[in-house]
Amino acid sequence: MTDKYTVAPEHTAVRVALWRALHVKIDPPPHIFTDEVGAALVDEKDWQNRQDMAPGFSKSMRASIVGRARFIEDLLKEEIKNGVTQYVILGAGLDTFAQRHSEIASRIQIFEVDQPGPQAWKKKRLLEKGFEIPESLHFVPVDFEAGESWWDRLLAAGFNPAKPAFVVSTGVSMYLTKETNLTTFQQIAKLAKGSTFATTFMLSLDLLPDQERSIMEFVMKKAAESGTPFNSLFSPEEILALARKADFSESKYVSAQDIYNRYFSLRTDGLSAGTAEAFLVATT
């Protein structure tokens, strides 16, 4: 099945995995999030010498990555306490929850949705590096370019739409059009009552401080040049309106400041993210 695909990880997924590991290696404890499994899968020689891993350059970005990862997994643990037994990761990349939390993973069903090539690479690397692939972990390859439906593939992988689920999507919404985001929201809003959806989104440029807006404009220019343009930026009011239109029963905006207050405010090393990325948390 994977012969026609590039069996390699996405560059963005590699960067996220390495930033997670970099936090553990160079930032003082207590660590916001501990994950060195992804870096072990990448197994890149001298990765800490990469330009994008420079301690000062990457500081706000790795803070954003570990902050959002911690927030997601804290939410997941709360959902499990409330009886949720299905965890869906849209655009899973090099997520390693199942390997880092084997006891929890054994009690729920985890569905990692991603493109076929990167997912095939990840499965191969997990086995090569001696990491367990538990029976509760389901890989859901979806060829988006061929028009495959992630929902159909999810059902085929054993997802039960009659049971509540926790669905997450990080670092994806800005690459989708607003129409595609709405379609995704509408599909998830139809899940069983008691389901929760958490997604990151990028704030509209006019809501950012001058310096951060300049950085974002540069990032967006580079993204467009590489063929992955940012198609959707939102104000908090717009993302909440989208959730209402999709027919979620409740939704809330979680700002970068909220994440800072929760995880970073007591730190003395100045580690903090910018304000550009925020969360929508919606329930059915």
Q: Residue 4 — pLDDT band, cuts 50, 70, 90?
A: low
- Which residues are CB-contacts of 31 (< 8 A; sequence separation ≥ 6)? 23, 24, 66
Taking the C-alpha atoms of residue 236 and residue 247, their distance in angstroms, rounded to an integer, is 17
Concatenated DSSP letters for 218-268? HHHHHHHHTT------B-HHHHHHHHHHHT-SEEEEE-HHHHHHHHTTT-S
* Per-residue confidence (pLDDT) for residue 13, from 0 to 100: 92
> Is residue 81 within 8 Å of 164, Cβ to Cβ?
no
pTM of the model: 0.94
* Per-residue confidence (pLDDT) for residue 147, from 0 to 100: 82
The pLDDT tens digits for 27-74 are 999 999 999 999 999 999 999 999 999 999 999 999 999 999 999 999
The pLDDT tens digits for 258-270 are 999 999 999 999 9
Q: Residue 133 — pLDDT band, cuts 50, 70, 90?
A: very high
The pair phi, psi for residue 200, each rounded to 5°, is: -85, 155
> Is residue 97 within 8 Å of 105, Cβ to Cβ?
yes
The pLDDT tens digits for 160-212 are 999 999 999 999 999 999 999 999 999 999 999 999 999 999 999 999 999 89
Taking the C-alpha atoms of residue 94 and residue 277, their distance in angstroms, rounded to an integer, is 20
- Which residues are CB-contacts of 24 (< 8 A; sequence separation ≥ 6)? 31, 34, 35, 36
The pLDDT tens digits for 215-239 are 889 888 988 887 889 999 999 999 9
As beta bridge partners, residue 97 has none
Q: In what order do the strands lie in the sheet with 250-254?
A: 137-141, 109-114, 86-90, 166-169, 196-202, 277-283, 250-254
- Which residues are CB-contacts of 11 (< 8 A; sequence separation ≥ 6)? none
* Per-residue confidence (pLDDT) for residue 215, from 0 to 100: 84
* Per-residue confidence (pLDDT) for residue 218, from 0 to 100: 85
Q: What is the DSSP letter of 177?
A: -
The pLDDT tens digits for 74-115 are 999 999 999 999 999 999 999 999 999 999 999 999 999 999
Per-residue pLDDT at 284 exceeds 50: yes
The pair phi, psi for residue 198, each rounded to 5°, is: -125, 125
Concatenated DSSP letters for 92-153? -TT--HHHH-HHHHTTSEEEEEE-HHHHHHHHHHHHHTT----TTEEEEE--GGGT--HHHH
Averaged pLDDT of the chain: 94
Give the distance, in angstroms, between the CA of residue 128 and the centroid of all CA atoms in the same chain: 24
Per-residue pLDDT at 1 exceeds 50: no
Identify the CA nearest to 249 among candidates 165, 189, 206: 189
